[in-house]
Amino acid sequence: MEVPSKTQPLFSIPVDSDHKATEFKPFDLSSPHMRAFHLAWFSLFSCFFSTFSIPPLLPIIRDDLNLSDTDVGNAGIASFAGSIFSRLAMGPACDLVGPRMASATLSLLTAPVVFSVAFISSPQAFILLRFLIGFSLANFVSSQFWMSSMFSSCVVGRANGVAAGWANVGSGLAQVVMPLLYTLIMRFNVQSSMAWRIAFIVPPIFQAATGLMVLAFGQDLPDGNYKHRRRTSKEPKQKVFDVLFNGLKNYRGWILGLTYGFCFGVELTTDNIIAEYFYDRFNVNMDMAGLIAATFGMANCVSRPTGGVVSDEMGKRFGIRGRLWSLWLVQTVAGLLCVLLGRVNSLWGSILVMCSFSLFVQAASGLTFGVVPFVSKRSLGVISGMTGSGGTVGAVVTQLLLFSGSNKFSTQTGISLMGLTMLLCTLPITLIYFPQWGGMFCGPSIEPDSINDDYYLLV
């Protein structure tokens, strides 16, 4: 019988030769793989909660601070703009200090900014704080990086999908919790202008706690922390600019960035406006508007992971063509439902369409990242960063053009126009082509080099 080496680490979950987990057990807490999974999604969950704790209280905040429609729109744009810059920087940060330290540092640095919301007194301060709070969403990059460090290729897609999906539920929970906190505080005869400020004590404490948990209980790699691996690794270092250039010149990455901009980007914009939309258009109270809006974000619990699973299943049956067709179809349906959402005039009809829209638009996000790993092996981090940043760029564009308060569109018209934009920006998926596997309408290339992995994975 083979005797395990004393230096060989023992794991409670099957692993490959690199000690990455080959099974994904989302309800397991075994260390270090599943512990990293739970810390990653829960930390990102708290960041989504903080970022979207403001929108459900906007009807109160805008009256107290005398915010104009333009101020509200600019603040929404600012929250996403901050995320663009921080996501671009998070990749190199993870490579330098590891996902554990990068994630915890970002959470702890942005938590005081969230706490500062309780003390703002001007529209300018409101816009600035929303910009800075948006930085916290870069924890998405560290989360995906961490999962890739802990899980083997056979399950890393599922781990990424579930981690991102569960974390996104934080935006939905904030839509429920913040109005309830506000209402509870008001019952103690606290004035409205003070009650909403007191409610903002909760999100930063929650976010800081998850950051400390990541530091205390997290581990970068199955065998230890990232700093130790960099000291002992004998692998040749890749040239940063070569990797960056090869990623940037790959047109598939740009198309996926555009696609993600109008699925995840649209999702972010909807999270930002949906509570206020139901409050203003259908005259429901703030608690009810928050509850309705919460169903949109909380659908991520199942919809985004389902998108990843569908992509894998279609890939097994039809190859890359199946992944591309399913992405185009699901996002097209999402666009049509978005158009319809702005046209429905009844409360219950709007709720039904919104719920259907949430399932498809969030599944499209999972389907997008079902294609990303096939674009480039050498520049996978760059492609992932381009795609992820595309999501926040899309949110900025839709917020700026359709919901900034500087145009003459009503919110319902803006929602329908956003759906039409989704339909147009989904069409470039038909242009994605992989020499070895083909595309939506074409088979693989007959060139001899197309059977070589380097032909498409290293460019």
Q: What pLDDT, in 10s, does the model give residues 109-125?
A: 999 999 999 999 899 99
Domain stops at, among 192, 226, 260: 226
Domains of the chain: total: 2
Q: What pLDDT band is residue 459 in, cutting at 50, 70 and 90? A: very low
Q: What is the mean pLDDT of residues 327-339?
A: 96
pLDDT of the residue at 153 = 63
Q: Which domain holds residue 277?
A: 239-459
pLDDT at 404 over 50: yes
Specify the range with the lowest mean pLDDT, choosing from 26-30, 218-222, 242-246, 436-440: 242-246
pLDDT at 450 over 80: no
Q: In terms of domains, do 279 and 339 share one?
A: yes
pTM for the full predicted model: 0.77
Q: Which residues contact 328 (CB under 8 A, 6 or more apart)?
A: 426, 429, 430, 440
Q: In terms of domains, do 174 and 283 share one?
A: no
Specify the range with the lowest mean pLDDT, choosing from 224-228, 233-237, 250-254, 423-427: 233-237
Q: How many residues does the chain have?
A: 459
Residue 9 is assigned to a structural domain of this protein = no
pLDDT at 456 over 50: no
Separation CA 167–CA 171 (nearest Å)? 8
Q: In terms of domains, do 168 and 306 share one?
A: no
Q: In terms of domains, do 203 and 245 share one?
A: no
pLDDT of the residue at 157 = 67
pLDDT at 452 over 80: no
Q: What pLDDT band is residue 308 in, cutting at 50, 70 and 90? A: confident
Q: In terms of domains, do 86 and 49 share one?
A: yes
Q: In terms of domains, do 144 and 34 share one?
A: yes
| DSSP, residue by residue, 337-380 | HHHHHTT--SHHHHHHHHHHHHHHHHHHHHHHHHHGGGT-STTH
CATH of the domain at 244: 1.20.1250.20
Residue 231 exposed, middle or buried by CB count within 10 Å (0-12, 13-18, 19+): exposed
Query: Quick one: CA dihedral 217, 133, 383, 358, positive or negative?
Result: positive
Q: Give how far Cα 253 sits from Cα of 80, 165, 247, 374, Å.
A: 21, 22, 7, 10
Higher pLDDT, 229 or 324: 324
Q: In terms of domains, do 194 and 172 share one?
A: yes
pLDDT of the residue at 457 = 47
8 Å CB contact between 108 and 148: no
Residue 46 is assigned to a structural domain of this protein = yes
| DSSP, residue by residue, 178-233 | HHHHHHHHHTTT--HHHHHHHHTTHHHHHHHHHHHHHHHH--SBTTB-HHHHHHH-
pLDDT of the residue at 416 = 94
Share of the chain above pLDDT 90, in %: 35
Q: Residues 277-299: pLDDT tens digits?
A: 898 888 888 778 888 888 887 78
